[in-house]
């Protein structure tokens, strides 16, 4: 039995692999990657590499073995994820894996915004497959905001059409630790975990944290959806993706990313990374 991480060189996947290497021997870890050269450092540490691509189902035939515990990290290509995920699920079923964990989205079937659509479909496909599953319904990554601090600092403003909505975000490393816990532990089959930070924050509070960490005046500007869409497209964000971002903010305004059930901190055995810590680290970088 191996623990297999798909998308293992991506932003989340590489952190999951690191967490696994801290818990189990490298010989038990498998990285499914598209680019073997990019993953060469993992191979040097003893991790087995299997080359496959979500978009090329034939390559997935050798990605899994009977008894493997598999983490399907959701694809990044919005609009193409259902066929991609379907290919992985079918390959996992054909191989007879012992567990298929999937990184969905907070709220699962109750998440009614556009970005959640493909996650809901994927969860249904996994249930219909009959595979032993674990749903990791990840909330928002704090890095979704802190990785884009340059324009905030340049213009002295945090822009959103989420109004007074709150976000229970956590650091990507927190979610990676939860995935590793589920892949290496017992009692997680047939479970759906609602994963989020311990504390939900508002965009006004986020602006205040950035101001405190940077020493610059930062304001929160609550925009209308139309105005926010215009700002995003004016900054070069593709229209389709800008519409998704605006729709997510509307979901935040409705409270759909504010839940704090505590599943994440229970799985990782510690509090989730505070917003202030992530902002300070990003500002210093």
Tell me: the pLDDT tens digits for 247-277? 999 999 999 999 999 999 999 999 999 999 9
pLDDT at 189 over 90: yes
Least confident of 14-18, 140-144, 147-151: 147-151
Mean pLDDT of 205-210: 98
pLDDT at 95 over 90: yes
pLDDT digit string (tens) for 16-65? 999 999 999 999 999 999 999 999 999 999 999 999 999 999 999 999 99
What is the model's pLDDT at position 76?
82
pLDDT at 79 over 90: no
What is the model's pLDDT at position 285?
86
pLDDT at 115 over 90: yes
DSSP for the chain? --EEEETTTSTTHHHHHHHHHTTS-GGGEEEEES-TTTTHHHHHTT-EEEE-BTTBGGGGGGT--TT-EEEEPPPS-TTTHHHHHHHHHHHHHHHT-SEEEEEEETTGGG--SGGGHHHHHHHHHHHHHT--EEEEEE--BTHHHHTTHHHHHHHTEEEES-TT-EE--B-HHHHHHHHHHHHHSSS-TTEEEEE--SS-EEHHHHHHHHHHHHTS--EEEE--HHHHHHHHHHTT--HHHHHHHHHHHHHHHTTTT----SHHHHHHTSPPPPHHHHHHHHHH-
Mean pLDDT of 276-285: 95
| Confidence bin at 121 (pLDDT 50/70/90) | very high
pLDDT digit string (tens) for 164-188? 999 999 999 999 999 999 999 999 9
Q: Give me the percent of the chain exceeding a pLDDT of 70.
A: 100
Domains, the chain, with CATH or none: 3-138 (3.40.50.720), 141-170+196-258+271-285 (3.90.25.10)
pLDDT at 77 over 90: no
* CB 69 within 8 Å of CB 101: yes
pLDDT at 112 over 90: yes
| Confidence bin at 136 (pLDDT 50/70/90) | very high
């Amino acid at each position: 039995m191996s623990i297999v991480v798909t998308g293992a060189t991506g932003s989340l996947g590489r952190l999951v692999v690191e967490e696994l290497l801290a818990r189990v021997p490298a010989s038990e870890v498998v990285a499914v990657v598209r680019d073997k050269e990019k993953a060469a450092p993992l191979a040097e540490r003893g991790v087995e590499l299997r080359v496959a691509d979500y978009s090329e189902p034939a390559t997935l035939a050798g990605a899994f073995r009977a008894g493997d515990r598999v983490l399907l990290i959701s694809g990044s290509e919005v609009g193409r994820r259902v066929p991609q995920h379907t290919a992985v699920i079918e390959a996992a079923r054909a191989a007879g894996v012992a567990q298929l964990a999937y990184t969905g989205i907070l709220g699962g079937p109750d998440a009614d915004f556009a970005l959640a659509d493909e996650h809901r479909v994927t969860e249904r496909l996994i249930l219909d497959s009959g595979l032993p599953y674990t749903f990791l319904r990840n909330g928002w990554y704090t890095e979704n905001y802190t990785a884009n601090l340059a324009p905030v600092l340049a213009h002295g403003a945090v822009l959103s059409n989420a109004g007074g909505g709150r976000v229970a975000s956590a650091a990507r490393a927190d979610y990676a630790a939860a995935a590793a816990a589920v892949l290496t532990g017992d009692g997680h089959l047939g479970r759906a975990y609602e994963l989020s930070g311990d504390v939900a924050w508002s965009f006004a509070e986020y602006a205040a944290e950035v101001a405190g960490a940077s020493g610059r005046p930062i304001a929160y500007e609550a925009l209308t959806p139309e105005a926010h869409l215009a700002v995003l497209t004016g900054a070069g964000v593709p229209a389709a993706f800008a519409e998704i971002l605006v729709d997510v903010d509307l979901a935040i305004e409705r409270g759909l990313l504010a839940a704090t059930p505590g599943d994440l901190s229970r799985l990782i055995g510690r509090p989730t990374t505070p917003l202030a810590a992530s902002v300070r680290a990003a500002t210093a970088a």
